[in-house]
Amino acid sequence: MADELMVEIVTPERMVFTGKVEEITVPGSEGEFGVLKGHAALLSGVDIGALSFTQEGKKRNFAVADGYVEVTATKVTVLVESAERSDMIDKERAQRAKQLAEEKMGKLAKEDPEYDKAKASLDKALIRLNVADKN
């Protein structure tokens, strides 16, 4: 297909995905955005969120956290500190992480820097649960 876009999802642990897709949606730091082939060159931060793309008509979902995305007309490179495919997510672990983070947040004052950290891990856990359910 002519309208295919090369996508690479890279984490420090491994290359999570390389391949051609029709369309990709990325959780940018300014909000979610979609990319098709021929997109203008763009560099954007990536936040904790759900990333998805369609490959051969099938939709695939990933939970990603923190990094950036580099878009050129034919290629999208996503560099994130973690990325998990929806069917690889351990729901129990995510549930536990969610509980732990909620407990922590209950104990801490909002001004505490630890509070933000707990909030970030809660967000991560929620996104992972959310993405896992899309499967």
Partner 1 sequence: MAALKDIKRKISAVQKTRQITKAMNMVAASKFKSAQMRMENFRPYAIKFMDVMSSLALRVDASSHPLLAVRPAKRIRVICMTSDRGLCGGFNTNLIKTTEKFIAAKKQDGAEVTLVSVGRKGRDFFRKKEKLVSEWVDQLNRFTMNLGVQIGDAIIPPFLAEEYDELYLIYNEFRNVSIQRPSVVRLFPLPTIGQQEEVEPEKRLDYIYEPSEEYLLDKMLRMYVHVLLYRALLETNAGENGARMAAMDNATKNCEELITSLSLKYNKARQAAITAELMDIVGGTEALSKS
Interface positions with partner 1 (CB under 8 A): 8, 10-15, 28-30, 40-45, 67-68, 70, 72, 77, 79, 81-82, 117
Cα 125 to Cα 83: distance, rounded to the nearest angstrom? 13
With respect to partner 1, which residue has the nearer C-beta, 41 or 109?
A: 41
Minimum separation from the CB atom of position 57 to partner 1 (A): 28
Largest Cα–Cα separation, the chain = 54
What's the closest the beta carbon of residue 58 comes to partner 1, in angstroms? Answer: 25
Residue 1 or 109: which CB sits closer to partner 1?
A: 109
Please identify, using beta-carbon distances, which residue of 57 and 113 lies nearer to partner 1: 113
Phi-psi region of 72 (alpha: psi -120 to 50; beta: other; left: phi over 0): beta
Q: Which residues contact 66 (CB under 8 A, 6 or more apart)?
A: 46, 47, 48, 80, 81, 82
Taking the least distance from each CB to partner 1, the nearer of 68 and 129 is 68
In whole angstroms, the minimum distance from the beta carbon of 99 to partner 1 comes to 19
Phi, psi angles (nearest 5°) of residue 89: -75, 130
